């Protein structure tokens, strides 16, 4: 057992410079590589997170502006439809007014034509009555011999 302990002691004593070099290597790695790398990664992460937060804020602002523009667009469309409806109602009212005027004018023309026809009819009747009396007198004169007088009841 003493032999094993002596051999172990020799191995440990021989490995001391290796352990010192390993510890120095770990310290150098921590000082030269790990800490600067950790700070660069932390800075990069902070910038990335900051950029992501900034992008989220920009997206939220853009969505807010989009909703404002959509509301303005909706209200503009509603105004256009309302103006169109008013214009259509105005045109319909103008058309109805024009139709009423035309109907009134046509009614007056019809009344005037009826009055003219009635006047013409009355004139024609009186002419026909006058001419029929004269014509009947001529017919009677032509049918009856010349010496016989026509009864006066024909008139």
* Burial (0-12, 13-18, 19+ Cβ within 10 Å), 140: middle
d(CA 149, CA 154): 12
pLDDT of residue 150: 56
Residue ranges per structural domain of the chain: 20-139
User: What is the average pLDDT across 78-82?
Assistant: 96
Band (66; pLDDT cuts 50, 70, 90): very high
CB burial readout 27-64, b (16+ within 10 A) else e? eeeeeeeeeeeeeeeeeeeeeeeeeeeeeeeeeeeeee
Which tens digits make up the pLDDT trace of 88-124?
A: 999 999 999 999 999 999 999 999 999 999 999 999 9
- pLDDT digit string, tens, across residues 117-137: 999 999 998 888 888 888 888
Query: In this model, does residue 75 exceed pLDDT 90?
Result: yes
- Whole-model pTM: value is 0.42
């Amino acid at each position: 057992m003493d032999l094993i302990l002596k051999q172990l002691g020799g191995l440990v004593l021989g490995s001391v410079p290796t352990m010192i070099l390993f510890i120095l290597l770990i310290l150098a790695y921590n000082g030269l590589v790990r800490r600067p790398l950790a700070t660069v990664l932390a800075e990069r992460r902070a910038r990335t997170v900051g950029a992501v937060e900034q992008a989220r804020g920009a997206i939220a602002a853009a969505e807010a502006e989009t909703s404002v523009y959509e509301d303005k667009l909706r209200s503009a469309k509603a105004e256009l439809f309302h103006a169109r409806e008013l214009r259509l109602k105005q045109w319909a009212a103008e058309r109805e007014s024009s139709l009423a005027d035309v109907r009134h004018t046509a009614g007056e023309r019809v009344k005037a034509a009826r009055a003219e026809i009635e006047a013409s009819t009355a004139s024609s009747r009186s002419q026909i009555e006058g001419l029929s009396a004269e014509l009947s007198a001529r017919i009677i004169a032509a049918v009856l011999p010349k010496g016989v007088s026509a009864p006066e009841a024909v008139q």
